[in-house]
Structure formats: structure tokens, C-alpha cells
Amino acid sequence: MKTAYTNGIIYSGETIERNKAILVEDGFIKAIADKDNIPEGYTREDLGGLNIAPALIDIQIYGGNGKMFSHCLDIASLQNTYDYCMEGGAAHFMITMATNSIDNFLKGIEAVREYWDKGYKGLLGLHMEGPYLNPVKKGAHIEGYIKKAELGELEMLFDKGRGIIKMMTIAPELCSEEALAFLLKERILLSAGHSNADYRQGISGFDKGIPAATHLFNAMSPLQGREPGLVGAIYDHPSAMASIICDGVHVDFSSVRISKKIMKERLFFITDAVTEIKEGEYHHHYKGDRYTLENGTLSGSALNMMKGVQNAVRQVGIPPEEALKMSSTYPAKLLDGKSKLGKIAPGYQADLMVFNDQLEVVKMIVP
């Protein structure tokens, strides 16, 4: 099937195009063509002057629409999360499990496998946020499950979940050389987080091949004059990227603005979103603009990806085209290099988001 999307402002992930058409063939972008030079054989779809951009990407979300994946380890939970993501403009998501029992992680692996086997859309893989964290920076994670990574356990996890575990948040200061070498060999996306690393330990982890950090500022050693901490290492390293939660709760909007000035294209958005649940081991209570544990500890956001974009534009002062890149183009850079996401360009997947000038999602185009 060939479709030409016309009469829209195109945010391609590189430029802003007007008076052009997006040519889509069999689910992939064929070209961005002049609106008056559309080849024969294309069905035209008029966007009515709305905006169109690559679908957004959320690489850290725990559940949605009333289903927490770590509690409901099944296809229905993943489908609810996908639906929640789509409402906020994200056609792709990395389902995330906070620190848990190894048995539950194994069940999560099988649920992801089943979701894929049945042909459901949107799921990029499993993000294990733990259990290999620093208990000093546990945040809302269950300390009883936090542990140091051991090679035998890692080998078992990847024997069961190779190709499914796509991302892991670890505390680099507590990860042995042997464990880190194994994880890097597996070529998954490693992210430093829930970490009390000092500046030198942080820089060392990034130099050894950890490419990113998890939710900048939250659950990590802070930037201080005498000890720059993990935040300082993230700022100072030339290639380390970091996610940030742009809700004004996890991080003050001024801190987002300062970080953007320093990190530029190395900073990107996640939601870190949960949903209300009062069963199981993690209880998340909705407080209007956030979720907390029973003791008041901040435990997750109430964001969707497009709400993060709105906050970035309205509260931080980031231009819309850049806020969109921080929600699609930049996280896509961290994913498997073979993936063709996050841009409107020849050869890229035609997963697109149509939105109005108020930065509200009007519809999703997912072939």
C-alpha cells in the first residue's frame, strides 16, 4: 500500500518541512517529496494543516491503564501499557520492571516473549531496573531484592532472556569487571542509575562502555563542589546520555533547563510512569501529579510522553522541534543501531504522530 500524507507541517527529526508530502510504502518512509510532485499510485491523505512527527519512544515505563506489569506479568498488562503509550504519542516502549525477585524477572521475560509471538505491537523489550543497584540510592525499590551482580546469575538470565532483555539499569560502582564485561558483550543498553558512584567511578563506567544514565538527578549521587558525583560525571563525559523525567516533580524545571544547556543532544525524556495499585509488593498511590509509596516516597510519574513534551515547551522553554527530538530521535540513538525509528527519512519505519498546535495528539499512524 502506498500513501502520501499531505498538507501537514513535518517535524522530521532533522528539519521542519512545509509544502511537502511524506511518501509511505509498505510501512516504511519512501521519501519526503514536494507536494506537487507526488508519483502516481499513491493514495493521498490530507492532514488538514496539522503537524506530523515520528512517533515518540518511551524506554522506561512500568505499566498503564490500571495494569502494573511487575504485578500482572501477562499480555493484557503489556497491551494496556501500549494503549496508554499510544494515547501520549508513543508507539514504542520498553516495559520496565523495578527491582524484583529473579523468579518474577523470568516470568516477565516469558510474558514479553508471548506478546511478541502473538504479533502485538510497540514493545521494544524488557528494561530491568535492578536488582543490581546500590541500596544507598534505592529510592522506591525493595531493598531486600537488591544484590550485586554475579556472573552465574547473569548467564542464567540471558540464557532465558537473550534478545528479550534489551536494557538494564545498574550501579556501576558495585558492578565487577567480570559482570560488566559480560553485560557489554551481550550488547544490551546499559544505564547507570540508583547509584552512589563518585565522579571517578561514574566516568570510569562511561569510559568502559556504559552509554547512558537513568532518570538524571533521581536516585544518584549529586553534583557538589568537593565531589561532583554521578551527576557531575554525566555532565562532564563527552558521550554519556541520560534520561530525565520532565514533570516538575521528579526534577525542577530549572534543573531540566540547566541540564539541557550542558548536555544538549545527550539528554532525552522518559515518563517513568506507573499506575495506581494497592496489591502485590509495590503499592503506588496516585497523588494528582505523581505516584508515591505508602510512606510518601516518590515512586513514579503520572506523565505520558506528549505531556513531557508540553512541559518542556511551556515550562522549560525548549522549542517544540527539539522537545520532540528528545522524545523520539535521541532515545532512538540509544537503541539497536539497526532500528529505523525516530526520524521521518527514507528507510525509516512509518510510525507517525499527528498533533495540533497545542501539542495534543490527534491521531497515531502505525501501519
Question: Per-residue pLDDT for 68 more than 90?
Answer: yes
| Distance from C-alpha of 321 to C-alpha of 274, rounded to nearest angstrom | 27
Residue 5 has a pLDDT of 98
Closest CA to 26 of 353, 349, 340, 346: 349
Mean pLDDT, rounded, of the chain: 97
For the stretch 81-127, pLDDT in tens is: 999 999 999 999 999 999 999 999 999 999 999 999 999 999 999 99
Q: Are 216 and 259 in contact (CB under 8 A)?
A: yes
Confidence of residue 339 (pLDDT cuts 50, 70, 90): confident
What cell numbers appear for 127 in the block? 528494561
Mean pLDDT over residues 27-49, rounded? Answer: 96
Residue 336 has a pLDDT of 74
Residue 257 has a pLDDT of 98
Question: Per-residue pLDDT for 317 more than 80?
Answer: yes
Residue 60 has a pLDDT of 98
Q: Are 294 and 285 in contact (CB under 8 A)?
A: yes
Residue 332 has a pLDDT of 97
Closest CA to 288 of 331, 248, 240: 248
Going by the DSSP 8-state scheme, the letter that residue 210 receives in this structure is -
Confidence of residue 184 (pLDDT cuts 50, 70, 90): very high
Question: Per-residue pLDDT for 133 more than 80?
Answer: yes
Q: The pTM is what?
A: 0.97
Residue 189 has a pLDDT of 97
Q: Which domains does the chain have, with CATH numbers?
A: 2-53+345-365 (2.30.40.10), 56-334 (3.20.20.140)
Closest CA to 263 of 315, 322, 338: 322
Q: How many C-beta atoms lie closer than 10 Å to residue 188's C-beta?
A: 22
Residue 280 has a pLDDT of 85
- Partnered with residue 353 across adjacent β-strands are 53, 364
Rounded percentage of the chain residues whose pLDDT exceeds 70 = 99
For the stretch 218-270, pLDDT in tens is: 999 999 999 999 999 999 999 999 999 999 999 999 999 999 999 999 999 99
272 is catalytic: yes
Question: Per-residue pLDDT for 337 more than 90?
Answer: no
The string of DSSP codes covering 127-165 is EEE-SSS-GGG-TTS-GGG-----HHHHHHHHHHHTTTE
For the stretch 189-212, pLDDT in tens is: 999 999 999 999 999 999 999 999
Tally helices (H) and strands (E) across the chain.
10, 22
Q: Are 77 and 111 in contact (CB under 8 A)?
A: yes
Name the active-site residue from 46, 272, 289, 357.
272
